Amino acid sequence: MTVMKSIAAAAAASFALAAHAAPLESLPTSGTLVVVPAFGEVKHANDQAIATLAIEEQDKDKAAAASRVNLKMKQGLDIVKREDPGASLKTQGYYTYPVYPEERQTINGQPSKPRVPTAWRVGQYLQVTTTNLEKLPKTVAAAQKILTLNGLQFGLTPETTRQLDDQRIAATYKNLNERINSIASAMGRKVGDAVLDTVDFEGSGNYAQDRMAGAPAPMMMRAAKMESADVAEPSFEPGETTLQMTLVGKVRFK
């Protein structure tokens, strides 16, 4: 029994050595179509800001609340125009909502009386688009004497985005060539044997960045009263934006 085991072990070892020594044959690649995704990105310092300023008033008299909102928005517009004449301004999101008292529990199953508004909330938003980032803190601080800062978003101007598009395409196409070289090497083929069949620059689907759209949700808190005191300038860091692109190339080997 021991002799038989020794013979079997020797045979298995010989087979393993033979298999290890045999060269690994590569699959034929002639006519192979390879789908290659590629990626590219460019970065640029943000050169545009979109600030959303707001005003809200609350009063038992709806007309009185609306009147104060209209007056303060006009004053806020004048301040922003004075501080940043080159800014693009857009008023939006004017709203009027009733304020109801807290609903009381019914007694003995009796239906509650219809609620009557005790006050009215009236508000409006102002969207300020500017490229004067250096003066932005001063502009916002001046506007905050009357209005509130409801939101701030930094990004790239359309002109800068168009200028960067050439760089983004070049970076993505360069990555495609690098990946094709790597794939050809792995397949044991020369790059000269490959023919670029198709380049799909929409291969990534929707890669466009979302833009700020529509009016913000109404404020749930009453805006501060108009103050004559100066407001300390806020601190802003514009940061940078990364533009990305994905393409899909189809390569066929001869």
For residue 122, give every residue at least 6 positions away whose Cβ sits within 8 Å of its Cβ, in sequence order, or none.
56, 57, 58, 59, 62, 65, 66, 68, 69, 95, 96, 97
Q: How far apart are CA 254 and CA 252, in angstroms?
A: 7
Please tell me the number of Cα atoms within 13 Å of 253 on its side-chain side: 17
Strands 194-200 and 240-253: antiparallel
Rounded average pLDDT per 10-residue block, the chain, 254 residues: 52 52 62 87 94 96 95 96 96 93 68 78 96 95 95 94 90 90 86 84 48 42 49 84 88 87
Is the entire prediction scored with pTM above 0.85? Answer: no
DSSP class per residue in 146-186: TSEEEEEEEE--HHHHHHHHHHHHHHHHHHHHHHHHHHHHH
Chain centre to alpha carbon of residue 76: 29
Per-residue DSSP letter, 61: S
The residues facing 54 across adjacent strands are 125, 148
Structural domains present in the chain? 31-47+157-203+236-253 (3.30.110.170), 48-98+118-155 (3.30.70.600)
* Predicted pLDDT at 209: 38
- Count CB atoms within 10 A of the CB of residue 103: 8
